[in-house]
A and B are shown apart, each in its own frame.
Chain A
Amino acid sequence: MELLVVGSILLCALVGTLVGLKLLSIAASSRKFPEFAIGAGLFAYAAVGQPAVLAHQALGEETSLGLRMGIVLLRVLAFYVTLLGLSLFTWQVFGAESRWRHALAAGLAVTALIPAGLSVWTTWLQLSANAPVPLYGRIGMTPHFVLTFGWVSLESLRYHTLMRKRSVLGLADPVVTNRFLVWGAGEGVSSLVVLALFVALMTRGGISIGDPLVSLFVTLAGLVNALVWWLSFTPPKAYLRWVRGSAAAGASDG
């Protein structure tokens, strides 16, 4: 089971890193902020955050405190950049002039600094003085991720319903319409998985990668993320043909 968990995290990290780099290269040529925000967020999560989680799990007691804290800092920073990137992307794309979206993005970005700092501080106390990590230290930015993934999902799925209506009239590209659906559904699943982990954390007082239920959730999240990023941002030609074919068939049926 542990191999499956590690495998799904590695797959997620590999796909996310490649997709993140592609989005950053699109941002470099377009000079637009949304692709930079989502590219940086994805790259930080997959290329830095996920490997840091694995490295932290793999390190033994004999590893120096400085190295372990360095990895923890890197992990927390990467996850914060992910949260920030996703929030700013969603705000900018779905309503840059909307006050409530602006407030929500700013609120998530500012309030996430508190659990991020506490998470680093309590880990420091645990590693340096063998102090038990309190619950709030273990929770970290988990509620922020539930909210952020949920927000991203709702915005994308809401926009997908508009795009579907436009598609019927030939006013929307079926591939772009499908992209809103895949991205929104994937983020929705991520939100639910992180929520499930949060509930497990609260009810069991902690979670371990060896726990079968936790392993299932982490594996599921890794596989779903890899699939969603791949289909959304680097879709294979066969998938694009299938989406266009399905849309054409739907139009002729209607």
Chain B
Amino acid sequence: MADLTAFEQTCEGLEQLTELSRLEARGTLRIALKEAGLDPASVKAAELSVVARMVLPNELTARGIADAESICERLRGKLAGIQDSARAETPEAVFARLGGS
């Protein structure tokens, strides 16, 4: 579990909490991340938590999943305990430094 990224752990949670298959859960989360402008390979747990609050409920509802809000709330609870692993520097971190902000 410790080696799984925040994205993979959320996919597993989504699979367990809904009737979505593994592929469907991953696909749904990928679509939600794309809508939020985030990359599954580098997304952080805190960012996923925001996506689970603001984007994912609509995606689940669109797929006919009942009680999407409550499922997403439980996913957020799981995300709160995830430690992000160190990863390569992001473009926004570099651009923030370049402007001195």
Contact = CB atoms under 8 A, between A and B. Distances in A.
B101 A34 contact: no
B88 A176 contact: no
Interface in B21-62: 35-39, 47, 50-51, 54-55
B98 A26 contact: yes
B86 interface: no
Contacts of B91: 93-94, 159, 180
B99 A235 contact: yes
B19 interface: no
Interface residues of A, number: 32
A172 to B, nearest CB: 7
A38 interface: yes
Contacts of A96: 88
Contact of B99 (A164, A165, A166, A175): A175
A99 interface: no
Interface in A226-254: 232-235
Nearest to B44: A171
Interface string A19-45: 000010010001010110010000000
A93 B55 contact: no
A39 to B, nearest CB: 9
A220 to B, nearest CB: 24
B49 to A, nearest CB: 10
A35 B35 contact: no
Contacts of A129: none
A61 B73 CA distance: 78
A96 B88 CA distance: 9
Contact of A32 (B38, B50, B54, B94): B94
A161 interface: yes
A164 B47 CA distance: 14
B99 A176 contact: yes
A197 interface: no
Interface string A130-170: 00000000000000000000000000000101111110011
Interface in B49-85: 50-51, 54-55
Contacts of B35: 165
A171 B49 CA distance: 11
B101 A173 contact: yes
B59 to A, nearest CB: 14
A97 interface: yes
A183 B38 CA distance: 21
Nearest to B47: A171
Contacts of A180: 91, 95
A207 B92 CA distance: 39
Contact of A30 (B50, B88, B97): B97
A179 interface: yes
Given A94-B91, A172-B92, A176-B92, A233 B37 contact: no
A55 B93 CA distance: 39
Contacts of B96: 173, 176
Contacts of A162: 37-39
Contacts of A38: 98
Given A161-B37, A165-B37, A166-B36, A171 B50 contact: yes
